[in-house]
């Protein structure tokens, strides 16, 4: 009986005044589709004054990596502090069908549930009263909407008390997720670029010039691609502006000094070799933490995984980390730097794939489980973007370099890839077949194999599950044209599977 009473006390909310006297407010800024293109990270084409100031007042991490480079799998692992591969939430937009529900393992709980148990008000929105996640005026349709969730498992919406901390009880601490549209603001077509540019000019006075852009070395120097990149950089500027507005609101409400601010993105830029892939372009993300007990002006260069954010957030609120949590409290003075971080890419929409990676101080090792499939495999999502359409046009008219052709348009991929991080920033030269780097290849291969086993990687879907999931995605799609493309692509993958490709 005593044990039962103690367990009940552990989940009952603390008296409100006791909680308010000891607990900080905590805000996550979670941004879509954005790499570390902030001026405090070395981006020279734009200025991000609010985030630069936040970095000066707090700690900036230079080597933080997403354990998955696509929205739903990233967010499933973020909110649990677990590798998405360990909890079966690693296939993009999965577990939504009644035919294939995904339930979290015993002992694994979303963070808002734990915060509610400890007296916190949990909220998920834009962080502003009158502006939404796009920094646009709220409408009756968006005013009471929760921010983005996108979890690949069964969850109860009651784990969020509201979409804004203004609805909490007087003095009650809050855990707020400010969900921002980030790189998605720019859209995927010229019409959307133009519309967003008007917003940028109205908000910030001027837009970034496409002529000033230097593209990554594996992308053709093309006007359409430069236009996309300049508009993307403007999405970074708008994000910085929105963060500044939220911080100013906290200051006006006189709660800034007791609020922990954590800024990060859910994966890298949405581009051909970025989002959905395990190169730096897809997995390297910014992480800035400022607020109570955070060392100002500090720069950390050790390896960090985004699931560590869950662990450090619980610790900041004085909530005990569940035994099952795989993230680590990287702010703990006794924390030992990691010798390796891991990432995984699995099915994204209809695009069935399996890639795993391990990154250490000097190397990035990638294993492609389906090397006979191309990098730019059929994908209704990615192929719907103007930049991918333009790349394919340039390929068809022989206007791309040998490097671009090799990295983006090869009909297959190496089974193993090994890159020397410090001398090859964008992972252009695969060293897996070189004699000099064979010891490193073997070491990293073994590290990855061990992680797959010890982390309980759930691996690829069965054919039956694949069919359930893609049919569910088709049913949830409104556009008939998209449905048709999706079905066409699914048949390609089914043929590949049948032929052992």
Instruction: Report the DSSP beta bridge partners of residue 344.
Output: 356
DSSP letter at 437 equals G
Structural fold of domain 2-185+236-331: Alkaline Phosphatase, subunit A (3.40.720)
DSSP track, 150-187:
--SS---GGGS-BSSGGGSPTT--EEEEEEE-GGGGG-
Locate tokens 């973007």: which residue?
385
Task: Output the six-digit token pair for 29.
Answer: 């800024």
pLDDT of the residue at 21: 53
Q: Report the b/e string of 328-339 with b at 16+ CB within 10 A.
A: bbbbeeeeeebe
Distance CA 487, CA 467 (A): 11
Task: Output the six-digit token pair for 307.
Answer: 């699931």
Sorted by sequence, the CB contacts under 8 Å of residue 241 that are 6+ apart come out as 50, 135, 203, 204
Please name the residue ranges forming H helices in 179-287. Answer: 190-204, 223-252, 280-283
Distance CA 259, CA 279 (A): 34
Task: Output the six-digit token pair for 10.
Answer: 């552990």
Task: Output the six-digit token pair for 180.
Answer: 């921002």
Per-residue pLDDT tens listing for the chain (501 residues): 333 333 333 444 444 444 455 799 999 999 999 999 999 999 999 999 999 999 999 999 999 999 999 999 999 999 999 999 999 999 999 999 999 999 999 999 999 999 999 999 999 999 999 999 999 999 998 899 999 999 999 999 999 999 999 999 999 999 999 999 999 999 999 999 999 999 999 999 999 999 999 999 999 999 999 999 999 999 999 999 999 999 999 999 999 999 999 999 999 999 999 999 999 999 999 999 999 999 999 999 999 999 999 999 999 999 999 999 999 999 999 999 999 999 999 999 999 999 999 999 999 999 999 999 999 999 999 999 999 999 999 999 999 999 999 999 999 999 999 999 889 999 999 999 999 999 999 999 999 999 999 999 999 999 999 999 999 999 999 999 999 999 999 999 999 999 999
pTM of the model: 0.95
Nearest Cα to Cα of residue 216 among 302, 152, 283, 280: 280
Please give the angle made by the CA atoms of 231, 182 and 94, to the nearest 5 degrees: 125
Sorted by sequence, the CB contacts under 8 Å of residue 219 that are 6+ apart come out as 225, 271, 272, 391, 404
Structure-derived torsion over alpha carbons of residues 151, 153, 158, 159, reported in degrees to the nearest 10:
-70
Max Cα-Cα span within the chain: 77
Distance CA 462, CA 236 (A): 39
CB 216 within 8 A of CB 22: no
Locate tokens 């969850």: which residue?
155
Phi/psi for 174 (5° steps) reads -135, 150
pLDDT of the residue at 356: 99
DSSP letter at 80 equals T
Nearest Cα to Cα of residue 317 among 259, 357, 252, 384: 259
Distance CA 162, CA 499 (A): 50
Domain boundary assignment for the chain: 2-185+236-331, 355-498
């Amino acid at each position: 009986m005593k044990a039962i009473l103690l367990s009940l006390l552990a989940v009952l909310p603390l008296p409100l005044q006791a909680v308010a006297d000891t607990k900080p407010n905590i805000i996550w800024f979670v941004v879509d589709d954005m790499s570390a293109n902030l001026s405090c990270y070395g981006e020279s084409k734009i200025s991000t004054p609010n985030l630069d100031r936040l970095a000066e007042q707090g700690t900036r991490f230079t080597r933080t990596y997403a354990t998955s480079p696509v929205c739903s799998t990233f967010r499933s692992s973020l909110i649990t502090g677990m590798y998405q591969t360990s909890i079966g939430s690693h296939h993009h937009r999965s577990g939504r069908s009644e035919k294939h529900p995904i339930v979290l393992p015993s002992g694994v709980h979303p963070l808002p549930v734990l915060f509610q148990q400890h007296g916190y008000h949990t909220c998920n929105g834009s962080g502003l009263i009158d502006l939404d996640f796009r920094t646009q005026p709220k409408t009756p349709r968006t005013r009471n909407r929760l921010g983005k969730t996108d979890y690949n498992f069964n969850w109860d919406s009651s784990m969020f008390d509201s979409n804004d901390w203004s609805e909490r009880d007087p003095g009650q601490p809050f855990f707020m997720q400010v969900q921002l549209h980030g790189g998605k603001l720019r859209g995927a077509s010229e019409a959307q670029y133009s519309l967003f540019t008007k917003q940028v000019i109205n908000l910030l006075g001027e837009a970034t010039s496409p002529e000033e852009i230097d593209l990554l070395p594996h992308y053709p120097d093309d006007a359409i691609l430069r236009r996309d990149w300049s508009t993307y950089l403007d999405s970074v500027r708008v994000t910085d502006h929105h963060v500044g507005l939220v911080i100013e609101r906290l200051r006006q409400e006189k709660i800034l000094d007791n609020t922990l601010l954590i800024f990060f993105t859910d994966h890298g830029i949405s581009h051909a070799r970025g989002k959905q892939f395990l190169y730096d372009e897809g997995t390297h993300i910014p992480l800035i933490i400022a607020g109570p007990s955070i060392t100002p002006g500090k720069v950390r260069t050790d390896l960090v995984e985004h699931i560590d954010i869950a662990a450090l957030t619980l610790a900041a609120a004085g909530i005990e980390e569940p035994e099952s949590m795989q993230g680590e409290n990287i702010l703990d003075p006794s924390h030992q730097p990691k010798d390796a971080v891991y990432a995984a890419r699995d099915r994204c929409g209809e695009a069935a794939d399996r890639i795993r990676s391990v990154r250490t101080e000097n190397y990035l090792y990638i294993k492609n489980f389906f090397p006979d499939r191309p990098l730019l495999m059929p994908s209704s999502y990615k192929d719907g973007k103007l930049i991918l359409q333009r790349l394919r046009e340039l390929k068809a008219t022989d206007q791309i370099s040998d490097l671009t052709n090799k990295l983006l348009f090869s009909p297959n991929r190496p089974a193993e890839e090994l890159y020397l991080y410090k001398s090859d920033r964008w992972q252009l030269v695969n060293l897996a077949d070189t004699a000099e780097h064979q010891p490193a290849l073997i070491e990293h291969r073994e590290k990855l194999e061990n992680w797959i086993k010890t982390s309980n990687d759930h691996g690829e879907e069965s054919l039956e599950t694949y069919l359930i999931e893609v049919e569910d995605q088709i049913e949830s799609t409104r556009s008939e044209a998209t449905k048709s493309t999706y079905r066409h692509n699914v048949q390609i993958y089914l043929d590949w599977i049948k032929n052992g490709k």
